[in-house]
Amino acid sequence: MKPHRLVLLGPPASGKGTQGQLMAEAWHLPITSTGEILRRESTLGTPLGLETDRYTSLGQLVPDEVVIASIADWLDANADAGFILDGTPRTLGQATALDALLEKRGTPLTDAIFLDVPPAVIEDRVRLRLMCARCGRTFRLGWQVQEKTAACPQCGGTLERRKDDDPTTLAERMSAYAEKTAPLVQFYDARGLLRRIAADQAVEKVFAQIAAALGRAEAEKEAAPRP
């Protein structure tokens, strides 16, 4: 089986975090997102983290070159045998720079997984989404956890609603996605890398679609989601 070098695309609440973790666990691939990398660098106080803090403290977006530098550092440390980038890249500029970085490393992307979800489903998912304050993993109320007061199934931490999971913020995030990130679908489709997944279904069915699209249909049994 060839190594998978993947990017996960999709609107907010499309299931990128959930499906990314299932793939990572099933196929033993490292996974990260730009936000996770930059938060870690900031916590460690590295030069990259300090540069990131300089922009975020002013309310500014982190420039593409800083984002790509953070991904390059993470790839050097984690991605010898494949990887998953969750929600990264987010703009055409980042996608072009990432392509150049990976070509230089001799590790070009193998697939871009696009989780396609209607807006009405996204709104419902946001309403039911909880995040662990300790480990950052997300869970869906009524499927992975049964009560809002339940402890995180992964680490025992406190589950809470994300601060950006409100109607006004969601509308803003969807607008930003449509403007900056949605064009990546065409970008990767033109390169023959896009795998479009109907992600408005049960988690296990979405995972089975992804596995089949990657020639890993047997992985449905390896990592079937459990309630």
Domain regions of the chain by residue span: 5-30+79-118+173-222
Long-range contacts of 117-121 (CB under 8 A, 24+ apart): 117/10, 117/11, 117/13, 117/14, 117/15, 117/199, 117/200, 118/200, 119/174, 121/200
Predicted local confidence at residue 222, as pLDDT = 46
Counting as low any pLDDT under 70, the low residues of the chain are: 56-61, 143, 163-164, 217-227
Q: How far apart are CA 133 and CA 166, in angstroms?
A: 17
- Is 54 part of the annotated catalytic residue set? no
- Is 196 part of the annotated catalytic residue set? no
Kindly report the CATH number that applies to the domain delimited by 5-30+79-118+173-222: 3.40.50.300
Predicted local confidence at residue 136, as pLDDT = 76
- Is 221 part of the annotated catalytic residue set? no
Predicted local confidence at residue 58, as pLDDT = 67
Q: Which of 179, 164, 37, 167 shows the shortest CA–CA distance to 98?
A: 37
Predicted local confidence at residue 60, as pLDDT = 66
Catalytic residue among 5, 90, 125, 137: 90
Catalytic residue among 5, 125, 129, 195: 129
Catalytic residue among 127, 162, 180, 196: 162
Predicted local confidence at residue 120, as pLDDT = 84
The whole-angstrom distance between residue 192's C-alpha and the CA centroid of its chain comes to 21
Q: How far apart are CA 81 and CA 168, in angstroms?
A: 41
Catalytic residue among 16, 125, 137, 216: 16
Catalytic residue among 5, 125, 173, 216: 173
